[in-house]
Amino acid sequence: MSATVNPDESESTDNEVPTVAVCETTPGRVVFTEDGNSDGWIATDLTVSLSR
């Protein structure tokens, strides 16, 4: 089975990095949103800090 991918649905080849905002809606509840995308968001009860 093959699938057709429209150019706007494929991963961007540009080096664009989306701007992501994070809000703590209640203590321990975090919501991530992408700048310019009011329809998509991720809520979580558990987040971890990343170290580089």
pLDDT of residue 8: 60
Quote the CA–CA distance of 8 and 18 in Å, as a whole number. Answer: 15
pLDDT of residue 6: 59
Report pLDDT digits (tens) over 2-52: 555 555 655 555 677 778 888 888 888 888 888 888 788 888 888 888 787
Quote the CA–CA distance of 46 and 25 in Å, as a whole number. Answer: 13
pLDDT of residue 20: 86
Structure tokens at 23: 């809000």
Q: Is the pLDDT of residue 1 over 60?
A: no
> What pTM value is reported for the model?
0.50
